[in-house]
Amino acid sequence: MLEISGLKAGYGPVTILHDIAMSIEAGEIVAVLGSNGVGKTTLNNVISGIIKPRAGTLRFDGQDITGKRPRDIVAMGLAQVPEGRKIFPNLTVRENLELGAFRRAGRNRARNFERMCTIFPRLRERLKQRAGTLSGGEQQMLAIGRGLMSEPKLVILDEPSLGLSPLLVEEMFSLIQTINRDGLAVLLVEQNVVQSLAISKRTYVLEQGRFAIVGQSADVLNDPKLRQTYLGL
Amino acid sequence: MLGLVVPAILSGLTTGAVYALVALGLTLIYGVLHIINFAHGSLLMAALYVALVLNMRLGLDPYVALPIVVAVFFCAGYLLQRFVVDTFSHGRDANILLVTLALSIIIDNGALYLFTSNTRTVDVPYAFDMIEVGPAFIPLPKVVAFVAALVIAGLLWLVMRHTRLGAAIRAVAIEKRGAELMGIDVKHTYAMCFGIGTACVAAAACLLLPTFYVTPQVGYAFVLVAFTTVVLGGMGSLGGALVAGLLLGVVEALCGLFLGETLGQIGIFAAFILTLLFRPAGLFAPKVA
Ligand SMILES: Nc1ncnc2c1ncn2[C@@H]1O[C@H](COP(=O)(O)OP(=O)(O)OP(=O)(O)O)[C@@H](O)[C@H]1O
Ligand SMILES: [Mg+2]
């Protein structure tokens, strides 16, 4: 579904990502783990077309998407729920959700809107509220709901559990499994190592712009290097 | 004297509606692109000339020409933003200011070259028709301008509130990255805003022409008032610009009444200074749209 090879990207004179190769199959949850500042968000933004790569190719759904504009990538069915949510605070919850279907699945907007209200009942109660006044957890729900409004085939979630209370983190991870059950592929970018490994099929661990550990999530969990660096065991 | 106050207020409202229309364009562009469009006054002047030429050459009444001029200036604004302002500014705000300033110099001098600095007016048969409004008689073109400006402001509100484009504009205004990730084309949205803002001055020009004169410098008189209106209404607020425009029209008319016709605009600038001193964020809480 998504194949990346030889990817290089950065900002100005600095190169952040060196020679990245990864793939995501249809219906899979794939985790990308890594500590602060290693380039996870940069990778997401390259995939979404916001940052142009310096080298390498990206293919999505059989097509070359290297250097394509964000709007075209969204139109193909690749959505991103960005770090920091980036919802529209001045718009209502309803308007935020509706804008999720701006480029794609506009015809099914009403149906998907209803679906989001079912998945996120707390949003349904607040449809007329300005999104900026939602709590952090509600904003994260809204950001995910908005991302799913375009009926993506692959959704990138950039640190969806960031800033959530432990209870909500649990809820978030089970939610990710729920949306994946319908066949939606998920690229889960996280720092929550244990839970991400638990729900993902495969994992890539990013270190200094390269994937240091790659494998089935069950194997990665037992990788001595990972246990030492990320779990302190 | 008091018998003159009400007519002055009514007349002020008609002028104020046109101020508001010019300011709506400016505040929309500011609120979404976060730039001050220094070419706004020059575009108003250019639209006045276009309407004037359509009248002189084709005999088109300025009101009949309005939809045409508005459409032409919408396209011109769209293209200017997309291919001139955006291209030459390389995304840096300081450059955008310079590019719009350069545009205004080019448009002004172009007008000077094409039309000389002579003052021109159109002849319309209804220029001196009066309409009785309560205790006052208001020139027909001013009543038309008032009503039309309010209708256009209402249309703008509808577009912003109840269309896909309006939602996209409001989204881009405050969360560009989020909008991009929803597949909203930010450059296109910016250009649409610039086009709509320019269309607003084009409409204002057609409404002004029957009662006003045209020179290559005429834009400055309005753009200063428009800046005042935008600040008074809260930078980027459409509703604020509408109320502030009407208010400034009335202030000007009352100052004209009490201090003498030529000193009317003193009230506007006094209001501006007072705003900056006491309510620098505008009379109303500043918010986009
Ligand atoms: N717009 C930018 N210009 C210059 N450098 C940037 C820019 N955005 C990010 N960087 C740098 O790129 C590096 C990687 O940033 P990135 O946001 O991709 O990290 P991350 O893995 O997502 O971190 P976190 O887990 O904290 O979100 C950082 O050193 C950051 O300072
Ligand atoms: Mg990040």
- Taking only the tens place, the pLDDT of each residue in A36-45 is 999 999 999 9
Place A71 in a pLDDT band, splitting at 50, 70 and 90. very high
Q: pLDDT-based confidence at A182, cuts 50/70/90?
A: confident
> Domain count of chain A?
1
What pLDDT, on the 0 to 100 scale, is given for residue B284?
A: 76
pLDDT band (50, 70, 90) for residue A233? low
Q: Is A86 in Cβ contact with B181 (below 8 Å)?
A: yes
Query: Which tokens is B198 given?
Result: 């320019």
Which of B160, B180, B182 best tests the A interface by mutation, with the highest count of A CBs <10 A? B182
Report yes or no on A222 lying in a domain: yes
Record: contact B175-A98, CB cut-off 8 A: no
Residue with tokens 């007329």: A128
Q: Where are the domains of chain B?
A: 2-15+26-217
Please report the beta strands in B124-171, taking only residues with DSSP state E, as ranges in sequence order.
130-133, 136-139
Q: Nearest-CA residue of chain A relative to B182?
A: A100
Nearest CA to ligand 1 atom 30: A37
Smallest CA-to-CA distance from A144 within A48, A197, A208, A80 is with A80
Per-residue pLDDT of A43-64, as tens digits, reads 999 999 999 999 999 999 999 9
- A86 touching chain B per CB within 8 A: yes
The overall average pLDDT reported for chain B is 92
d(CA A55, CA A46): 11
Closest residue by CA, ligand 1 atom 16: A39
Taking the C-alpha atoms of residue B160 and residue A90, their distance in angstroms, rounded to an integer, is 13
State residue B236's pLDDT score.
Answer: 86
pLDDT at B288: 45
* Average pLDDT of the residues in B42-52: 97
Question: Cβ A74–B164 below 8 Å, yes or no?
Answer: no
What is the value of pTM for the model shown? 0.93
Q: Is there a contact between A78 and B183 (Cβ–Cβ < 8 Å)?
A: no
Nearest atom within ligand 1 for CA of residue A206: 21
Q: Taking residues A158-162, what's their average pLDDT?
A: 94
Residue ranges making up the domain that contains A200: 1-77+187-233
pLDDT number for residue B276: 84
Q: Model confidence at A75, in pLDDT bands (50, 70, 90)?
A: very high
Mean pLDDT (whole number) for B107-136: 91
Residue B107 has pLDDT above 50, yes or no: yes
Top pLDDT among B269 and B49 is at B49
- Across the range A103-111, mean pLDDT stands at 94
DSSP one-letter string for B159-197: HHHHSHHHHHHHHHHH-HHHHHHTT--HHHHHHHHHHHH
Judged by average pLDDT, the poorest of A51-65, A181-195, B157-171, B260-274 is B260-274
Q: Distance between CA B27 and CA A161 in Å, rounded?
A: 38
Q: What is the pLDDT of residue B285?
A: 56
Residue indicated by tokens 């983190």:
A169
d(CA A42, CA A32): 12
Interface test with B, best of A52, A71, A112, A157 (most B CBs within 10 A): A71
Say if residue B134's pLDDT is above 70. Answer: yes
Judged against a pLDDT cut of 50, whether residue B94 lies above it is answered with: yes
Interface check A134 vs B, CB under 8 A: no
pLDDT at B99: 94
Has residue B66 got a pLDDT over 80? Answer: yes
Which member of A71, A87, A100 has the closest CB to residue B185? A71
CA B183/CA A16 separation, integer angstroms = 25
Tell me what the mean pLDDT of segment A153-169 comes to: 94
Is residue A203 situated within a structural domain? yes
Mean per-residue pLDDT over chain A, rounded:
94
Per-residue model confidence as pLDDT tens digits over B153-193 = 999 999 999 999 999 999 999 999 999 999 999 999 999 99
State the CATH number of the domain containing residue A4. Answer: 3.40.50.300
Whether residues B183 and A103 touch (CB distance < 8 A) is answered with yes
In a domain, A141, yes or no: no
pLDDT tens-digit series, residues A112-137: 999 999 999 999 999 999 999 999 99
Ligand 1 centroid from CA A41, angstroms? 7
pLDDT, position B186 = 96
List CB contacts (< 8 A) between B173 and chain A: 90
Q: Read off the pLDDT of residues A219-232 as tens digits, 9 standing for 90 and up.
A: 999 998 888 877 76
Answer yes or no: is pLDDT of B95 > 50. Answer: yes
CA A2/CA B12 separation, integer angstroms: 63
Q: Do the Cβ atoms of B171 and A99 come within 8 Å?
A: yes
